[in-house]
Amino acid sequence: MSNQQCSLRLHILFGFFVGLLVGMNLLGNKITTLAGISVSVGIFMYPLTFLITDIVEEVYGKEVIKHFIIVGVLTIVMMILFTRLSIWLPPNARFSYNKEYKIIFDSSTRIMIASVIAFALAQLHDMWAFAYWKNKTHGKFLWLRNNLSTWVSQAIDTFVFMMIAFYHVTDKFTFSFIIQLAIPFYLFKIAFAVLDTPFVYAGVAWLRGSNNKPS
């Protein structure tokens, strides 16, 4: 596979990564119910960011993932700033939904702040843990390092995010109540991590090219 093809595939994953971050931060304040458990609709997007970074780190190493994390943090910070600006600007007379607009996007600001902190901590851990387990396994057992690094990283992300985003939003959101909410949410993420294992292998093979298969 040519260098141009490799670059294109890496940029495709990078575009998906940034797009998922934007999507989960804009849409994630909606709560749905899956299997009787209340979860954010972001549950479908955020695990995919770990899938992408594990694929890229397996092929290109930690230095490239550092760039992904830096751009991810800057993307969320930029969204926070533009969200605040958009809420602050007065509406045109023709725009009759300013109240609803503020309700939706004002609530997302705290969520975005929580997201950028949790994202940075979780992704930095995932980057470190993936490299650690790759070294320990001598580059073999991709499924093992993918899952071990993601399980702990998802725990960091879930509990840090939910504490910052929801602690004392109302009197109901105590520490113990948030833990009760976070545990099933975390288990959903673990299930996604296990289920995405074949896609890690497929993604690594696709990014490397068909002549270089993952372990």
Tell me the pLDDT tens digit for each residue of 52-84.
999 999 999 999 999 999 999 999 899 889 988
Tell me the pLDDT tens digit for each residue of 9-20.
999 999 999 999
Class in CATH terms, 3-208:
mainly alpha
Q: How many CA atoms lie within 13 A of 156 on its CB side?
A: 19
Q: Residue 112: what pLDDT?
A: 78
Q: Residue 155: what pLDDT?
A: 94
**Residue type for position 178:** I
Judge contact between 91 and 99, C-beta under 8 A.
no
- Name the residue ranges covered by the structural domains of the chain: 3-208
Encoding tokens for residue 145?
């390092």
Q: Is the dihedral of CA 77, 80, 86, 89 positive or negative?
A: negative
Q: Residue 136: what pLDDT?
A: 93
Distance CA 175, CA 158 (A): 13
Mean of the per-residue pLDDT values of the chain: 88
Band of residue 6 on the pLDDT scale cut at 50, 70, 90:
confident
Q: Residue 2: what pLDDT?
A: 64
pTM: 0.87
